[in-house]
């Protein structure tokens, strides 16, 4: 079964969005938040985004490129931050979306940093560098939900992360993984505004 997906991305990454919209067999909602919602009430803004942009979707695809990080500031990132916040919100008339982060090729080396030996448990863990310089907190927090352990196994992560090159080979696989997280116990630990 195909899942309806909403794409959250920066204008600089629009070429990748065009590939998603045209070249891959994915059920996408092509609505993007480009104009400000006329309100200072953050809860109202989230409600309008959910109603007007996300209501038909069950998975939000977040394209992670070099312009989608917290270090660029709130004003620069307010649209993608709000899209992800609205996607993570679970309320009476709204279920949260699964979140699929697709790392674009220009970010591979900045995010996928190899492996490291753990001084706590002695095992080798993959080192995935998600922080304010690589993505926004709405994604990084919900990928690395605090767990008190030395590593973050799949059951302790809500967001799904994949390289662009892997995604385009098998998009439905990763979309389904993100969709499934909505019912996973870790979904109860999601933070909308970290």
Residue 114 maps to a domain: yes
Residue 194 maps to a domain: no
For residue range 100-138, list pLDDT tens digits in order.
999 999 999 999 999 989 888 889 999 999 999 999 999
Task: Write out the residue range of the structural domain in which residue 68 sits.
Answer: 5-189
**Considering the entire predicted model, what is its pTM?**
0.90
Distances (CA, A) of 154 to 68, 82, 151, 185: 24, 25, 10, 11
Does residue 17 contact residue 70 with C-beta atoms inside 8 Å? no
Does residue 57 contact residue 6 with C-beta atoms inside 8 Å? yes
**Mean pLDDT of the region 152-161:** 93
Look at the chain and report how many structural domains it folds into: 1
The two beta strands, 160-163 and 98-103, are parallel
Residue 11 maps to a domain: yes
Q: pLDDT at residue 9 above 60?
A: yes
Q: pLDDT at residue 172 above 70?
A: yes
**Mean pLDDT of the region 39-55:** 77
Residue 165 maps to a domain: yes
Which H/E stretch holds residue 87? helix 74-88
Cα–Cα dist 158/128, whole Å: 15
Residue 55 maps to a domain: yes
> According to the model, what pLDDT value does residue 143 have?
96
**Token pair of 120 as six digits:** 């706590």
Residue 46 maps to a domain: yes
């Amino acid at each position: 079964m195909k899942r309806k997906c909403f794409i959250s991305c920066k204008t600089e990454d629009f070429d990748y969005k065009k590939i998603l919209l045209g070249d891959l067999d994915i059920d996408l909602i092509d609505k993007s938040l480009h104009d400000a919602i006329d309100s200072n009430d953050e809860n109202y803004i989230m409600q309008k985004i959910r109603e007007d942009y996300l209501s038909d979707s069950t998975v939000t695809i977040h394209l992670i490129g070099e312009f989608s990080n917290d270090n660029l500031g709130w004003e620069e990132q307010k649209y993608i931050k709000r899209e992800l916040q609205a996607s993570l919100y679970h309320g009476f008339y709204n279920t949260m979306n699964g979140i699929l982060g697709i790392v674009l090729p220009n970010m591979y080396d900045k995010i996928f940093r190899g492996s490291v030996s753990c001084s706590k448990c002695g095992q080798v863990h993959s080192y995935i560098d998600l922080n304010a310089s690589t993505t926004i907190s709405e994604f990084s927090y919900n990928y690395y939900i605090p767990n008190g352990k030395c590593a973050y196994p799949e059951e302790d992560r809500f967001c799904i992360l994949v390289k662009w090159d892997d995604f385009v080979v098998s998009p439905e696989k990763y979309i389904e993984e993100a969709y499934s997280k909505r019912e996973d116990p870790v979904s109860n630990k999601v933070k909308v505004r970290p």
